[in-house]
Chain A
Amino acid sequence: MKIPYYPGCTLNTVAKQFDTSAREAASIIGFEMKELAQWNCCGATFPLTPDNVIGLTAPAKVLSNARKEGDTLTTLCSVCYNVLKRTNKVIRDNKEKRNVINGFIEEEYDGSVNILHYLEVLRDKVGFDKVKGAVKRPLTGIKAATYYGCMLLRPFEDIGIDNAERPTIFEDLLRALGAEPVEFANKIECCGAHLAMNNEEVVTNLSGKVMTSAVDAGADLIVTTCPLCQFNLEKSQPKVAEADTGYRPVPVVYFTQALGLALGQDIETLGFEKNSSDIMPLLKKKGIA
């Protein structure tokens, strides 16, 4: 199985380990992520003003390129996923906008690409049972906090990957990998997102709440699906630890790193050194590495 793949800018730069671990895991499970021959930035925010069509042209360009390579497209970054999926819906359902966008990008795209998050590929195309069967190094004993963030789930009518208020897809995967997901209050709350650029205080507060609620619930590890969440959590963690002496810092990793680990990939190749928190002591403690 070959699935056209859109990495997005972040996975090509600061979140390289997210990209490489996902591709490697895919090849172990038995599918190939075929990077689009041509792609550009998705725009990184879905324009919420109803008449802002120009903001949709960048993702539309990505989608029309993807259409040339197949009828599905997978991506990893929550923001890319959110922007592409919502833009696709606009193009599919709104004829007027479709015509304007197609006029701009000089393509005839009709919204027929099915956009799947990597998690959806694992759940719907591969099956978590098959993933479970491929596990060589189960994450037994690790209490994992599955941090969804918001862009992966909402708005529900446009995204629909899972129940927006009580999702389970992420927990189901971690369970298949042998870890024990913990229930924590802020698992679908915002990390602060782009406010990292101009209002760090908000980010520290929100990301702090996410991590505190995860650690209070007993998590040894926080797993993320989004480079921006990963960045904000990693950056805020030392500040949280500084402000709250009772806080116990935990490693924060991409879910594909956890996946690769469970599938038995060489730990050296998973790019943990690029993460700011060290996962090795935890792995040693649990007897995994």
Chain B
Amino acid sequence: MPRIGVFVCQCGNNIAATVDTKKVAEEMGKLPGVVYTCDYKFMCSSPGQEMLKQAIKDNKLDGLIVSACSPHMHEKTFRKAAEAAGLNPYQCEITNIREQCSWVHHDKTKAAGTVKSIDLTRMTIQRLKKNQPLKKIKIPVKKKAMVIGGGIAGIQAALDIAEGGRQVILVEKEPSIGGNMARLSETFPTMDCSQCILTPKMVEAELNENITLYTYSEVEKVDGYIGNFTVTVRRKSKYVDEDRCTGCGECIEKCPFKVDSAFELGLAKRKVIYTPFPQSVPNVPVIDAPNCTKIQKDKCGACAIVCGPKCIDFKMEDKIVTEEVGAIVVATGYQNMPNERFGEYGYGRIKDVISGMQFERLASSSGPTGGEIRRPSDGKIPESVVFIQCVGSRDEKKGVSYCSKICCMYTAKHTKLYSHKVHGGQSYVFYMDIRSGGKRYEEFVRGAIEHDGAMYLRGRVSRVYEKNGKIMVQGADTLSGNQVEIEADMVVLATAVVSREGADTLAQRLGIGYDKYKFYNEYHPKLKPVETVTAGIYLAGTCMGPMDIPESVAQGSAAASKVLALFSADEMAREPITSVVNRTTCNACWDCLTACPYTAIEREAIKDRQGNIVRWVAKVNDGVCQGCGVCVAACRSKSIDLKGYTDEQVFAAINAF
């Protein structure tokens, strides 16, 4: 006969208001196998836990139930207490009588809540009787990390992991690390130059012994599980030998062909052999193969002729490398929504309607105008500029429903930059609300309005069109209730922050979740902000949603600290809730293998004494299995069971209802 104890928690008034906990305890005491029951104000408090431990010892309990809040809250607490009292922690089960019971029943006579709590607890008792003691799974951990994405969040994560003494591979798609931040001119709210605070970090990443940079590279495939990932990376051909290149730039100088620079967002040209920007890290040029006449038509080759160390190789091919790592940080960043989608603003049709990011390039001292605000059409200095906020953001009809969060701040910054660079210039901002939550952010926006003379108009713009060489901006000023028409020389659109193209493909390769906007999902929006549902994979920065630089950096560091914690022990322990195959009944139909979303199931050969394979069975890799139970449902011969949630346990609970 089992010796079970039942502990019913009042949770202050959270449970006790609608559940008669004393009655629940009494009723449970009548069941066979239950030798001890009690109810208490806060089971999770220290005295509560002490009481629980004492009761286990005094009554020689071999299993216990805590009827309290959701197991997500305190299952760990109580299992730890049970372990301390000498029990196998998995002989402790939780009944949730709060979230789905006391909180949803408002019957003050406590009738409904009490009956339901009794039913639920009784079910758990029957289930507990079928429990088996389980042991935590130990997994060896490879103490090397990979960071995908070399923007500020990725750089920060890589630096912090490297500082912690671990090896990191930083994979970047572009020829240089730096990401979107490398494009910015100044940063809010301190107005320090973006390059000046970013490039030291980029150089540090290049020089740090623990960091290996894979630029111009993309992740193709991810296998394995926490502590033991195998990642396949395609290192795209740069056509330049990275090890021998000195970065002298002679080849760039001599290249006779020019194309639009993606880094400058079409505001300037670059050579066909190029580095995206002067401070690129690594300072190794790449050849843009589709535009190179040597590679396409075997004509020219000027770069190879002038190259001193002879490191240009037109025959170079992509390399596929495989890396074994214990943890992955995903920091793939964001992009802006295409402005062409908003026909009313004339982007793409009217040359002097530009995006906020293009304005950053105009204001940047390393940009196409050397930091002078000159409009793209004729290079004239604009005497008035209209900034339109929420282009695509908070616009479910034509864009996205969320707020892009950074635009209020960077638009205020733009007005400041403009007024500092063009004295006497007038800026106008059309806004919906000014969202400037953040340290010194509100003061910053007030400064733009009060000191730098930006004219803020609350309302939307209906149309932008050209008239006599001016850009006419037609809109509403909802504070004065008037329609306004502004003659501007340039219009800047604060376009929505959206997920990067291909974000969904990468998420599928990694096995992590994403929302309908293809932003990656954190495990818990408040309490696990950098973890994903796949153990060992962490997130940082704008691949999760719009955020500013301070937040991205904080997340990079947060993800790094998670990685370092994982790497602090040689083995990691994890919950033993995994599937197990009954090898005698498995008939190798492989339905489980197809169904498993984590590729945790392998084929195992059973051999006779001579070593001949006699049959095949499925085998679950405990390191990968997440205990979702899909294979259990898929198995036709009922040969798979989920430890801790066996069919026997579940049926016992149902029968008790």
Contacts and interface: CB of A to CB of B under 8 A. Distances in A.
A20 B466 CA distance: 37
Interface in A136-184: 157, 163-166
Interface string B336-352: 00000011100001000
A185 B472 contact: yes
A216 B343 contact: no
Contacts of B465: 185, 213
A80 B397 CA distance: 25
Contact of A165 (B343, B466, B467, B472): B343
A185 B342 CA distance: 15
Q: Which of the listed residues A157, A163, A185 has the most CB atoms from chain B within 10 Å of its own CB?
A: A185
Contacts of B472: 185
Interface in B251-302: none
A167 B465 CA distance: 15
Contacts of A216: 467
Interface residues of A, number: 9
A162 to B, nearest CB: 11
Interface string A207-231: 0000001001000000000000000
Contacts of B343: 163-166
Contacts of A185: 463, 465-467, 472
A213 B472 CA distance: 12
Nearest to A166: B343
- Counting contact residues on chain B (CB < 8 A from A), the size range is 10 to 19
A214 to B, nearest CB: 12
A163 B343 CA distance: 8
A157 B396 CA distance: 13
Given A164-B343, A165-B342, A185-B465, 11 more contacts: A165-B343, A165-B344, A166-B343, A185-B463, A185-B466, A185-B467, A185-B472, A189-B463, A213-B465, A213-B467, A216-B467
Q: Which 9 A-B pairs have the closest CB atoms?
A: A165-B343, A166-B343, A185-B465, A165-B344, A163-B343, A185-B467, A185-B472, A185-B463, A216-B467
Contacts of A163: 343
A163 B472 CA distance: 21
A166 B464 CA distance: 12
A165 B463 CA distance: 9
A201 to B, nearest CB: 15
B323 to A, nearest CB: 46
B581 to A, nearest CB: 49
Interface of B: 342-344, 349, 397, 463, 465-467, 472
Greatest chain B CB density within 10 A among A157, A166, A213 is at: A166
Nearest to B465: A185
Nearest to B467: A185
17 contacts: A157-B397, A163-B343, A164-B343, A165-B342, A165-B343, A165-B344, A166-B343, A166-B349, A185-B463, A185-B465, A185-B466, A185-B467, A185-B472, A189-B463, A213-B465, A213-B467, A216-B467
Contacts of B463: 185, 189
Nearest to B472: A185
A74 to B, nearest CB: 27
Contacts of A166: 343, 349
A165 B339 CA distance: 13
Contacts of A165: 342-344
A165 B342 CA distance: 8
A165 B344 CA distance: 6
A218 to B, nearest CB: 13
A157 to B, nearest CB: 8
A164 B344 CA distance: 9
A165 B348 CA distance: 13
Nearest to A157: B397
A24 B57 CA distance: 101
A166 B463 CA distance: 11
B121 to A, nearest CB: 45
Contacts of B467: 185, 213, 216
B460 to A, nearest CB: 14
A279 B566 CA distance: 82
Interface string A232-254: 00000000000000000000000
Nearest to B468: A216
B368 to A, nearest CB: 28
Interface in A183-208: 185, 189
B309 to A, nearest CB: 52
A95 B637 CA distance: 46
A167 to B, nearest CB: 9
B623 to A, nearest CB: 49
A216 B466 CA distance: 11
A164 B463 CA distance: 12
Contacts of B397: 157
